[in-house]
Amino acid sequence: MLSQSEEEFVEFVLEVGNRVLDKDTFKFMIEEGVPVDEFDGLCSGYNLDEVVQSLEEKELAYTESQKEIIRTTNVPEEGIEKVNWEHTEFKKVDRRYIYFTAELESLYKE
Protein backbone atom coordinates (compact mmCIF):
# COMPACT_ATOMS: atom_id res chain seq x y z
CA MET A 1 0.00 0.00 0.00
CA LEU A 2 1.24 3.48 -0.84
CA SER A 3 1.44 6.22 1.76
CA GLN A 4 -0.24 9.53 0.99
CA SER A 5 3.12 11.15 0.17
CA GLU A 6 4.12 8.30 -2.13
CA GLU A 7 0.79 8.44 -3.91
CA GLU A 8 1.05 12.22 -4.33
CA PHE A 9 4.55 11.85 -5.80
CA VAL A 10 3.48 9.13 -8.25
CA GLU A 11 0.44 11.19 -9.28
CA PHE A 12 2.68 14.24 -9.81
CA VAL A 13 5.09 12.24 -11.99
CA LEU A 14 2.19 10.83 -14.01
CA GLU A 15 0.59 14.26 -14.44
CA VAL A 16 3.81 15.80 -15.72
CA GLY A 17 4.57 12.77 -17.87
CA ASN A 18 1.14 12.84 -19.49
CA ARG A 19 1.75 16.46 -20.49
CA VAL A 20 5.22 16.08 -21.97
CA LEU A 21 5.65 12.47 -23.10
CA ASP A 22 4.30 10.84 -26.22
CA LYS A 23 4.27 7.41 -24.56
CA ASP A 24 2.93 5.82 -21.40
CA THR A 25 4.49 7.50 -18.35
CA PHE A 26 4.79 4.29 -16.33
CA LYS A 27 6.55 2.60 -19.25
CA PHE A 28 8.93 5.57 -19.53
CA MET A 29 9.66 5.58 -15.79
CA ILE A 30 10.30 1.82 -15.81
CA GLU A 31 12.57 1.88 -18.88
CA GLU A 32 14.31 5.27 -18.78
CA GLY A 33 13.73 6.95 -15.43
CA VAL A 34 14.17 10.62 -14.59
CA PRO A 35 16.79 12.50 -12.56
CA VAL A 36 15.51 12.91 -9.01
CA ASP A 37 16.81 16.49 -8.88
CA GLU A 38 14.32 17.47 -11.59
CA PHE A 39 11.64 17.27 -8.88
CA ASP A 40 13.49 19.44 -6.32
CA GLY A 41 11.30 22.34 -5.29
CA LEU A 42 8.30 21.04 -7.23
CA CYS A 43 6.97 18.64 -4.62
CA SER A 44 5.24 20.42 -1.78
CA GLY A 45 3.77 18.85 1.31
CA TYR A 46 6.31 16.05 1.57
CA ASN A 47 10.04 15.42 1.61
CA LEU A 48 11.16 14.14 -1.79
CA ASP A 49 14.16 12.21 -0.47
CA GLU A 50 12.01 10.46 2.15
CA VAL A 51 9.43 9.46 -0.47
CA VAL A 52 12.10 8.11 -2.83
CA GLN A 53 13.75 6.19 0.02
CA SER A 54 10.40 4.77 1.13
CA LEU A 55 9.56 3.60 -2.40
CA GLU A 56 13.01 1.98 -2.62
CA GLU A 57 12.56 0.21 0.72
CA LYS A 58 9.26 -1.22 -0.53
CA GLU A 59 11.02 -2.22 -3.79
CA LEU A 60 8.54 -0.16 -5.79
CA ALA A 61 11.25 2.08 -7.24
CA TYR A 62 15.02 2.18 -7.40
CA THR A 63 17.67 4.78 -8.06
CA GLU A 64 20.92 4.63 -9.99
CA SER A 65 23.73 7.11 -10.26
CA GLN A 66 24.70 8.14 -13.80
CA LYS A 67 27.52 10.36 -14.93
CA GLU A 68 26.40 13.19 -17.20
CA ILE A 69 28.02 16.19 -18.77
CA ILE A 70 26.00 19.33 -18.13
CA ARG A 71 26.37 22.87 -19.38
CA THR A 72 26.58 25.63 -16.82
CA THR A 73 26.83 29.37 -17.19
CA ASN A 74 29.07 31.46 -15.03
CA VAL A 75 27.58 34.91 -15.20
CA PRO A 76 29.66 37.47 -13.28
CA GLU A 77 28.31 38.38 -9.86
CA GLU A 78 28.16 42.13 -10.55
CA GLY A 79 24.73 42.70 -12.00
CA ILE A 80 23.01 41.03 -14.88
CA GLU A 81 25.02 40.44 -18.00
CA LYS A 82 24.04 38.88 -21.28
CA VAL A 83 25.10 35.23 -21.23
CA ASN A 84 27.46 34.27 -24.02
CA TRP A 85 29.81 31.40 -24.82
CA GLU A 86 32.58 32.99 -22.74
CA HIS A 87 30.49 32.26 -19.64
CA THR A 88 29.66 28.67 -20.60
CA GLU A 89 31.44 25.67 -19.23
CA PHE A 90 30.77 21.97 -19.14
CA LYS A 91 31.24 19.72 -16.16
CA LYS A 92 30.75 16.05 -15.37
CA VAL A 93 28.31 15.32 -12.56
CA ASP A 94 26.73 12.28 -10.94
CA ARG A 95 22.95 12.44 -11.19
CA ARG A 96 20.64 10.12 -9.32
CA TYR A 97 17.88 8.71 -11.53
CA ILE A 98 14.66 7.22 -10.19
CA TYR A 99 13.01 4.30 -11.94
CA PHE A 100 9.59 2.86 -11.18
CA THR A 101 8.98 -0.90 -11.07
CA ALA A 102 6.19 -2.92 -12.65
CA GLU A 103 5.03 -3.68 -9.09
CA LEU A 104 4.47 0.03 -8.46
CA GLU A 105 2.43 0.30 -11.65
CA SER A 106 0.27 -2.68 -10.63
CA LEU A 107 -0.20 -1.40 -7.09
CA TYR A 108 -1.06 2.11 -8.25
CA LYS A 109 -3.60 0.92 -10.82
CA GLU A 110 -5.47 -1.28 -8.29
- At residue 29, the pLDDT reads 97
Per the DSSP assignment, residues forming a β-bridge with 89 are 72
* 78 or 104, greater pLDDT: 104
DSSP summary character for residue 63: E
User: What's the predicted TM-score (pTM) here?
Assistant: 0.80
Give the pLDDT confidence score for residue 81 in this predicted structure: 58
pLDDT digits (tens, 9 = 90+) for 46-100: 899 999 999 999 999 999 999 999 877 665 556 555 656 666 788 899 999 999 9
Domain range holding 27?
A: 4-109
Check pLDDT > 70 for residue 103.
yes
Q: Give the containing element (helix H, strand E) for 110.
A: none
- Say how many domains are in the chain: 1
CA atoms within 13 A on the CB side of 74: 6
Write the CB contacts of 41 (distance below 8 Å, at least 6 apart in sequence).
Answer: none
